[in-house]
């Protein structure tokens, strides 16, 4: 299955543009995916995402299997109809969420047994089951079940995780091929692990890329490491993935991390961070993050930015919404941060096409000074 077509490449670095050809339409890359964990992007209507130009969002298998459950989604005819989204959906397998439940899960060769964070009930997820669930959701892109390890684990533990991840990837791939033969049109992505050991990253990449997945993801980064460590391991791992397939870096969503990822040839990224900080009153601007609850904005008549969902509202009014705990505040702020990133991605693609990405990155970061937006 071929889903990616590269169109332009930077002469200075690995940055590139392209298109994902998916069942619910094409997606221009590099692309940021808003996260709709439980079949909704928090505080944002799907019509608003559509108007911004988003055509690919992310949901999570772990959360959806627990609530509302596979049967309910199947009754609606799949996740698209359940949430009334006409664009594409990528579903994460739930591996990272199970990883975050460390005291309540047990990983074995067969799969992972875990305790629901909702009601304490016990569940079992295997790589085959993860594929079957995502097929029942009718995901346009689904992810294999993998084992993500925390920063600081021993090399032995990281090696065990690589071994299981590779085994699970082979089993998932076989299950997915069977579903494709039955008419399923979604793509399955493999995930490279290896923690912060380059030899293990190399091994994981070789084993995962030996399987003919339509796309590949890099997992286990942006988990608490420094920016320098992140850049080092990203620059090492990304070139190990096939240039003919889309590269997905999981779990990043800030301008500086996105720009670094694009420079190293990443095509896709996602993160809850932009909407999470928006609900708490922090906004992306071209001059850095703006904390709208600050007293300095009480009588500020300027808009947060001249364009986008907040262009008609003063900073004073937006601050009032948050201080009064009016729900419109988080709604508008969430829309703004997603609009900001969508606009940024458009600029990035234009910069790559005109072969000036490095200059664009330098100028953007020069203006984007963390935490001191005027």
CA–CA distance, 274 with 146 (Å, rounded to integer): 25
Convert the pLDDT of each residue in 309-322 to its tens digit: 999 999 999 999 99
Running DSSP on this structure, what letter comes out for residue 268? Answer: E
Q: What percent of the chain lies above the pLDDT cut of 90?
A: 93
288 beta partners? 285
What's the chain's Rg over C-alpha atoms?
A: 20
Pairing type for strands 215-218 and 31-33 reads unpaired
Packing angle, helices 255-263 and 227-237, rounded to 10: 30
**pLDDT over threshold 90, residue 96:** no
Q: What is the pLDDT of residue 94?
A: 83
Is the separation of the CB atoms in 127 and 98 below 8 Å? Answer: no
Q: What is the pLDDT of residue 253?
A: 97
Nearest to 88, CA basis, from 128, 43, 130, 46: 46
CA–CA distance, 345 with 185 (Å, rounded to integer): 27
Which position has the token pair 């909704």?
40
Q: 176-210: b or e for each residue (b if 16 or more CB lie within 10 Å)?
A: beebbeeebebbbbbbbbbbbbeebbebbbebbbe
- The DSSP string of 125-145 is E-HHHHHHHHHHHT-SEEE--
Convert the pLDDT of each residue in 173-186 to its tens digit: 999 999 999 999 99
Nearest to 160, CA basis, from 105, 104, 203: 203
Structure confidence at residue 189 as a pLDDT band (50, 70, 90): very high
CA–CA distance, 93 with 145 (Å, rounded to integer): 5
Name the active-site residue from 28, 270, 300, 355: 270
Q: What is the mean pLDDT of residues 321-332?
A: 98
Is the separation of the CB atoms in 290 and 260 below 8 Å? Answer: no
CA–CA distance, 191 with 347 (Å, rounded to integer): 28
Convert the pLDDT of each residue in 97-130 to its tens digit: 877 776 778 889 999 998 888 999 999 999 999 9
CA–CA distance, 318 with 299 (Å, rounded to integer): 11
Convert the pLDDT of each residue in 45-84 to its tens digit: 999 999 999 999 999 999 999 999 999 999 999 999 999 9
pTM of the model as a whole: 0.97
Q: What is the mean pLDDT of residues 191-198?
A: 98
Backbone φ and ψ of 66, nearest 5°: -85, -40
Annotation says 92 is catalytic:
yes
Packing angle, helices 198-209 and 155-181, rounded to 10: 10
**pLDDT over threshold 90, residue 190:** yes
Which position has the token pair 């609900």?
279
CA–CA distance, 21 with 179 (Å, rounded to integer): 19
Name the active-site residue from 92, 140, 146, 267: 92
């Amino acid at each position: 299955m071929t889903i990616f077509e590269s169109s332009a490449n930077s002469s200075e670095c690995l940055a590139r543009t392209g298109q994902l050809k998916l069942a619910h339409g094409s997606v221009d890359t590099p692309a940021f995916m808003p996260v709709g964990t439980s079949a909704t992007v928090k505080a944002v209507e799907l019509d608003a995402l559509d108007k911004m130009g988003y055509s690919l969002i992310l949901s999570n298998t772990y959360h959806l299997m627990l609530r509302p459950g596979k049967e309910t989604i199947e009754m609606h005819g799949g996740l698209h109809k359940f949430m009334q989204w006409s664009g594409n959906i990528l579903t994460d397998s739930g591996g990272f969420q199970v990883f975050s439940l460390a005291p309540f899960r047990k990983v074995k060769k067969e799969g992972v047994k875990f305790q629901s964070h909702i009601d304490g009930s016990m569940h079992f997820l295997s790589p085959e089951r993860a594929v079957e669930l995502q097929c029942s959701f009718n995901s346009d892109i689904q992810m294999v079940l993998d084992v993500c390890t925390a920063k600081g684990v021993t090399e032995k533990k990281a090696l065990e995780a690589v071994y299981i991840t590779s085994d699970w990837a082979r089993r998932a791939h076989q299950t997915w091929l069977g579903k494709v033969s039955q008419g399923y049109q979604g793509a399955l992505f493999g995930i490279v692990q290896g923690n912060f050991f380059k030899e293990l990253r190399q091994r994981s990449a070789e084993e995962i890329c030996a399987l003919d997945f339509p796309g590949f993801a890099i997992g286990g980064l942006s988990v608490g490491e420094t920016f320098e460590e992140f850049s080092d391991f990203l620059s090492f791992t990304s070139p190990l993935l096939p240039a003919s397939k889309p590269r997905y870096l999981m779990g990043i969503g800030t301008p500086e991390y996105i720009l670094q990822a694009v420079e190293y040839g990443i095509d896709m990224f996602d993160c809850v961070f932009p909407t999470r900080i928006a609900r708490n009153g922090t906004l992306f601007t071209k001059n850095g993050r703006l904390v709208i609850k600050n007293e300095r904005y009480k009588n500020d008549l300027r808009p947060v930015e001249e364009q986008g969902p907040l262009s008609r509202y003063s900073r004073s009014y937006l601050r009032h919404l948050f201080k009064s705990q009016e729900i419109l505040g988080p709604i508008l702020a969430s829309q703004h941060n997603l609009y900001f990133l969508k606009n940024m991605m458009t600029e990035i693609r234009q910069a790559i096409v005109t072969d000036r990405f490095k200059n664009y990155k330098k100028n953007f970061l020069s203006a984007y000074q963390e935490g001191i937006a005027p």
